[in-house]
Amino acid sequence: RAAVILPSGLQGEQRVYSKRECLGVPQRPPYSGRLFWRAVCGPVSGRVSGGVGGAMAEYSHVKSTKLVLKGLKDKRKKKHKDKKRKRDDDEEKPDVVGGWWTVHNFGEITGTVAIEMHNSSYIHALDTGLFTVGAPHKDDEGPDPPEQLTAIKLSDSRIALKSGYGKYLGINSDAVVIGRSDAIGSREQWEPVFQDGKMALLAANSCFISYSESGDIVAKSKTAGEEEMIKIRACAEREVKRADDLADEDRGNVKSCEVNYVKKFQSFQDRKLRVNEEDSGSLKKARKDGKFHEALLDRRSKMKADRYCK
């Protein structure tokens, strides 16, 4: 603190002034924090630094946020995960037209198939042994009989295709797809190529098939572009994929599982099921403990009708 005496001639009383008052620094508000004080006045080291301009410059470096009052609810929109899940389900929905579904790997190519070149337009077999693209079909209409082929697997990557006239598809010296062979040779072998959810068909000359301007199906392109993209559709019954690996006998409640295993292993002559009539509560506990099959075996052994229990 410093004692300041008023000049002569001025009336007043002697007062002790603080160092901040002598330097012209405003007093620290009682409610402000240290960060606010330094942002306004700057560090006090014998003199005021920056002044009002420095204070405003310091304010520009402070990150402004929305004022949040206690008791107010956050009204930000929540992401709708259900919509995203529904969109993913739509993407995974199988492409089925009139019972003909699109194959996505080599193992699904079997039995009667059809090759879709464009939207709902399939390769059509002519009685001359040549092939062309048939007329477009409706959205719920499958391929016609001349557009249906029979796929025969030759190896892990190659297949043969037989038309409805009983001839195998191949290529001639002009790279035109024909169906006039009675046997499978090197030119009658085809290789489906899958990549990024799309498919192309590679012929024996290492070229992909496409539709030419003359109306024939040819194999002249070394690379697969949009014109070479096809779909192979099959009508064979698809196996339903299950999320778990449970056997058919293990599905359902404990009583139905016990009946399933009795039908599978029981040896009887009068064609009557002999199921243990004891309480099935022990089976429920055994199922949780991982001893379900052992408990079923014990129950069947008590009936003395299982040829595998003794």
For the ranges 86-95, 213-222, 244-253, 279-288, the lowest mean pLDDT is seen at 86-95
Name the band, by pLDDT with cuts 50, 70 and 90, for residue 178: very high
In percent, how much of the chain has pLDDT > 70? 61
Q: What is the pLDDT of residue 214?
A: 87
Please state, in angstroms and rounded to a whole number, the distance separating the CA atoms of residues 144 and 164.
11
Q: What is residue 266's DSSP assignment?
A: B
Coil/strand/helix, residue 118: strand
Sequence-ordered alpha helix ranges (H) in the chain: 19-23, 34-41, 51-60, 81-91, 254-265, 281-289, 292-303
Q: What is the pLDDT of residue 71?
A: 66
Cross-strand bridge partners of residue 82: none
Q: What is the pLDDT of residue 35?
A: 52
Q: Judge contact between 80 and 86, C-beta under 8 A.
A: no
Q: What is the pLDDT of residue 48?
A: 44
Please indicate whether residue 28 or residue 186 has the higher confidence score (pLDDT).
186
> What integer is the mean pLDDT of 240-260?
68
Please state, in angstroms and rounded to a whole number, the distance separating the CA atoms of residues 282 and 286.
6
pLDDT tens-digit readout, 82-141: 555 555 544 456 778 888 899 999 988 989 999 998 888 999 999 999 999 999 988 888
> What integer is the mean pLDDT of 219-223?
93
Please state, in angstroms and rounded to a whole number, the distance separating the CA atoms of residues 294 and 274.
18
pLDDT tens-digit readout, 156-168: 899 999 999 999 9
Q: What is the pLDDT of residue 17?
A: 56
Q: What is the pLDDT of residue 13?
A: 52
Q: What is the pLDDT of residue 46?
A: 45
Cross-strand bridge partners of residue 195: 198
Please indicate whether residue 60 or residue 135 has the higher confidence score (pLDDT).
135
> What integer is the mean pLDDT of 184-200?
92
In percent, how much of the chain has pLDDT > 90? 34
> What integer is the mean pLDDT of 256-270?
71
Q: What are phi and psi of 192, to 5 degrees?
A: -70, 135
Q: Judge contact between 219 and 117, C-beta under 8 A.
A: no
Q: What is the pLDDT of residue 49?
A: 46
Q: What is the pLDDT of residue 55?
A: 56
Q: What is the CA radius of gyration of the chain?
A: 42
Q: What is the pLDDT of residue 116?
A: 93
DSSP string spanning 124-145? Answer: EE-TTSBEEE-----TT----G
Whether residue 51 has pLDDT greater than 60: no
pLDDT averaged over the chain? 76
Whether residue 169 has pLDDT greater than 90: yes
Cross-strand bridge partners of residue 31: none
Please indicate whether residue 28 or residue 106 has the higher confidence score (pLDDT).
106
For the ranges 162-176, 207-221, 274-288, the lowest mean pLDDT is seen at 274-288
Q: Give the pairing of strands 177-181 and 149-153.
A: unpaired
> What integer is the mean pLDDT of 211-233?
91
Please indicate whether residue 188 or residue 239 has the higher confidence score (pLDDT).
188
